[in-house]
Structure 1
Amino acid sequence: MSTLEHKYAEGDATKPVLLLLHGTGGGPDDLLGLARELSPGSATLAPAGPVSEFGAARWFRRLAEGVFDHADVVKRAGELADFVEWARQEYGLGDRRLVAVGFSNGANIAAAVTLLRPEVLKEAALFSGMSPVPQPPEFDLSGSRVFLSNGEQDPMAPLPSTEEYIRLLEERHADVTIHRQPGGHQITLDGVRAAREWLAR
């Protein structure tokens, strides 16, 4: 299969594999520092967003700021899920625990995969993410866990859209942990601390 450009680094087999999903304009190395804070010694699987927006790497197309191309979200979420399945085979990950860690656009694509391909992605720690697709299928997500850290003053991931994603998860029986910080579109130390505690549970 055609696969996503990516970097893989092996780690402690007793710790979760972290699927690192960068924000707009980022790349596979962006979240390595965050990964070390969340789970030191974990293996990391860090793909690059396949969509170019004026040269900036993204995970899916958007029609305007905050307006997603929902058909493309669904398509790209499928590609990312297929990539994760391929990587499990390629790197001999077997049934090791895998947790997505995403920021901004990376959080949004991970959010889409949790709703659309829950058999592939059951756990995600999402920073500055929001609702990715308007009417996802009615899958039972009772085995899924999602951590969300969002800024109360975030113009790029407004809280009403984040609340919509939380509603979609909770209606489908996912386990949702919510962290709020007073600022904007960023990863905060408090958010990292809360995510680390969530990950260790």
Structure 2
Amino acid sequence: MNAQVDMTSDANAYHHYAKPAEPGAPLVFAFHGTGGDERQLSGLVSQILPRAGIVAPRGDVSEHGAARFFRRNGEGVYDMPDLAARTQKMIGFVRAHRAANPGAKVYGIGYSNGANILASTIFAAPGLFDRAVLMHPLIPFEPAPQPELSKVDVLITAGRRDPICPAPLTERLERWLLGQGAKVEMLWHEGGHEMREAEIVATAHFLSV
């Protein structure tokens, strides 16, 4: 009885948008960027995978009114204890929704701050996701080794001139994931932090094959 109460609490830990999956379709978690909300990526997911279930949480940290998934002390300077605590909260949220969709493949897609919380979640609990799309991630720290990432497929998309997510840090993340045995695809465009059509096309292919 208590376990069921806890599971229900975890499933509602965030204000979120949810759409049920059709039989045999995957469940996709969508994580918005700073200042976005639960609708930012849900339309994209519906376009790419119209039969998929969607769970899109809204970040519960406010930065001058902009929703985020964890605190930071400056651009690219994360509040690491807060990130660790909120990663555990997200793990509980994802686990609860996975449990409600037994047998479904589970994918994650995140943009910017959403990519960062998704990355932090797969670093800590890689078994939660079969595939993850990290769009413009910024991981300014060295994660702990995680051999279970060998079971996860990852697509990273990024801009060569992104002033928020410098290319060398993105390349370091790619190398680290490969070093853990993850299957990694990388897509670059020549722009900055904006999401471009090539990323959407690559994401559609990555999540549909």
| Residues 40, 132 of structure 1: alpha-carbon distance in 2 compared, 3 angstrom cutoff | farther
Structure 2: how far apart are the matches of 1:122 and 1:69?
A: 28
Q: What are the Cα deviations for residues 56-85 of structure 1, in whole angstroms up to 9, with x where unaligned?
A: 110111110111112222221111111011
Structure 1: how far apart are the matches of 2:199 and 2:55?
A: 22
How many residues are aligned here?
199
User: Is 1:49–2:59 an aligned residue pair?
Assistant: yes
Structure 2: how far apart are the matches of 1:129 and 1:101?
A: 11
Q: Computing the radius of gyration over CA atoms, which structure comes out larger, 1 or 2?
A: 2
Answer 1 or 2: which has greater helix percent. 2
| Residues 199, 118 of structure 1: alpha-carbon distance in 2 compared, 3 angstrom cutoff | same
Answer yes or no: is the 8 Å Cα contact 1:73–1:132 preserved in 2. Answer: no
State the SS of the aligned residue for 1:140: helix
Gaps of 5+ in 1: none
Superposition TM-score, scaled by structure 1 size:
0.93
- Aligned position for 2:121: 113
Answer yes or no: is the 8 Å Cα contact 2:105–2:130 preserved in 1. Answer: no
- Aligned position for 2:15: 5
Answer yes or no: is the 8 Å Cα contact 1:108–1:132 preserved in 2. Answer: no
Structure 1: how far apart are the matches of 2:127 and 2:184?
A: 17
Q: How does 1:36-185 map to 2 (within 5 A)?
A: 36-89=46-99, 92-131=100-139, 133-185=141-193
Answer yes or no: is the 8 Å Cα contact 2:159–2:190 preserved in 1. Answer: yes
Answer yes or no: is the 8 Å Cα contact 2:38–2:57 preserved in 1. Answer: yes
Answer yes or no: is the 8 Å Cα contact 1:73–1:133 preserved in 2. Answer: no
State the SS of the aligned residue for 1:141: helix
Give me the CA root mean square deviation: 1.5
- Aligned position for 1:21: 31
Which stretch has the larger CA shift, 31-40 or 188-197?
Answer: 31-40
| Residues 95, 132 of structure 1: alpha-carbon distance in 2 compared, 3 angstrom cutoff | farther
Structure 1: how far apart are the matches of 2:140 and 2:128?
A: 17
Superposition TM-score, scaled by structure 2 size:
0.89
Answer yes or no: is the 8 Å Cα contact 2:33–2:113 preserved in 1. Answer: yes
Aligned structure 1 segments of 4 or more residues deviating by more than 4 angstroms: none
